[in-house]
Amino acid sequence: MSELQSRIEGGEAFIAKLSRFEEAVVGDKEEMIDEEIRATQREWADLVPVRTGKAREQILKEEALLKIETPSNGHIQWRLGLLTKAQLAAAYYLFWVEFGTKGYAKGDRRAGGRDKRGRRRKHKVTRAIPARPAQPSFRPAAANFIRRVVDARRWARIISGNKEKLGLN
């Protein structure tokens, strides 16, 4: 029994609770990342604007998550997005919803395919096409994922460091 525990009534119970708290915060890193990736997937689907057809359905599919394990070094990489051709075909417009589009005034020239020689064709715009504002959904969800993971790692370092300083390891 350490000197600190002998002077504090209920010290053993406090140390046990602190250890359980550390395990809950630190826990299994792989499991924590797995939970956070799935939470990010749900958050992304919630942030997608309502009038976007099949985007939410495609985002929430299991195929939208890909876990890649490297056997040589044990690293795990996650990919989240429209990863299959079928998903891309169903929600191809999601890029323009995320980043917005450029507008064209009447008389402007815009790209319109390629000719036989491979050069870009230009078409004259006959009526004004308004710009569509960006409605980001993936970028805020990804930023929140990073914030949550960094906060969890910060708490783990704080708890582990304080346990070492107090000699509770």
Q: In the numeric block, which tokens belong to residue 101?
A: 């589009």
Q: How many CB atoms lie within 10 A of CB 41?
A: 21
Residue 91 to residues 42, 61, 66, 99, 139: CA-CA distances in angstroms? 17, 12, 18, 14, 17
Higher pLDDT, 18 or 113: 113
| pLDDT over 80 (residue 3) | no
Q: Which residues contact 14 (CB under 8 A, 6 or more apart)?
A: 8
The backbone torsions φ and ψ at residue 121, rounded to the nearest 5 degrees and listed phi first, read -90, 150
Q: What is the pLDDT of residues 43-79, one digit of tens each?
A: 999 999 877 678 899 999 999 999 988 888 888 888 9
* pLDDT value for 27: 63
State the pLDDT confidence band at 111, using cuts at 50, 70 and 90. Answer: confident
Q: In the numeric block, which tokens belong to residue 110?
A: 């815009």
* pLDDT value for 86: 92
Contact 63, 83 (CB under 8 A): yes
Q: How many CB atoms lie within 10 A of CB 150?
A: 10
Task: Look over the chain and give the mean of its residue pLDDT values, rounded to a whole number.
Answer: 84
* pLDDT value for 20: 73
State the pLDDT confidence band at 30, using cuts at 50, 70 and 90. Answer: confident
* pLDDT value for 65: 92
* pLDDT value for 2: 54
Question: Residue 87 burial (CB < 10 Å; 0-12/13-18/19+)?
Answer: buried
Residue 138 to residues 43, 92, 126: CA-CA distances in angstroms? 9, 14, 34
86, 110, 101, 160: which is closest to 135 by C-alpha?
A: 101
Q: In the numeric block, which tokens belong to residue 103?
A: 């507008």
| pLDDT over 60 (residue 143) | yes
| pLDDT over 90 (residue 138) | yes
Percent of all residues in the chain with a pLDDT value above 70, rounded to a whole number: 88
Domain ranges, ordered by start, for the chain? 3-100+135-166, 103-129
User: Taking the model in full, what pTM does it have?
Assistant: 0.72
* pLDDT value for 85: 94
